[in-house]
C-alpha cells in the first residue's frame, strides 16, 4: 500500500484534486502554464479555494494575466 504522507501527500489529497479540477473547469482549455500548474498543485488549500472563486467570477483573461504576471515578476522561468 502506498504511503499517504511525505512529500507526495498533496498529489493524493482528494480535496486538492477536486479543487484543481474546479479551477481547470473554470478556465478555458490549456490556459494554465506547466510552471503555474505546478505551483498551484502545491499552494495553500485556502488560497486555492480563493483562486477558484475568483476564476469563477472574473473574466478568464484576468486570471490568465495574473498567472503570467506572477510567473514573470517572480522570475520562475528564466528569460531566454
Q: Per-residue pLDDT tens for 34-65?
A: 888 888 888 899 999 999 999 999 998 898 88
CA distance 24 to 52: 9
Question: Which tops the pLDDT comparison, 70 or 56?
Answer: 56
**Is the CB of residue 52 less than 8 Å from the CB of residue 26?**
yes
Per-residue pLDDT tens digits for 11-31: 788 999 999 999 999 988 788
Enumerate helices (H) and strands (E) in the chain, giving the number of each.
4, 0
Amino acid at each position: 500500500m502506498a504511503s499517504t504522507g511525505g512529500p507526495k501527500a498533496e498529489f493524493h489529497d482528494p480535496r486538492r484534486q477536486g479543487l484543481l479540477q474546479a479551477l481547470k473547469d473554470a478556465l478555458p482549455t490549456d490556459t494554465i502554464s506547466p510552471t503555474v500548474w505546478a505551483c498551484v498543485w502545491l499552494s495553500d488549500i485556502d488560497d486555492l479555494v480563493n483562486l477558484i472563486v475568483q476564476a469563477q467570477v472574473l473574466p478568464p483573461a484576468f486570471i490568465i494575466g495574473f498567472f503570467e504576471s506572477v510567473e514573470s515578476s517572480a522570475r520562475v522561468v528564466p528569460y531566454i
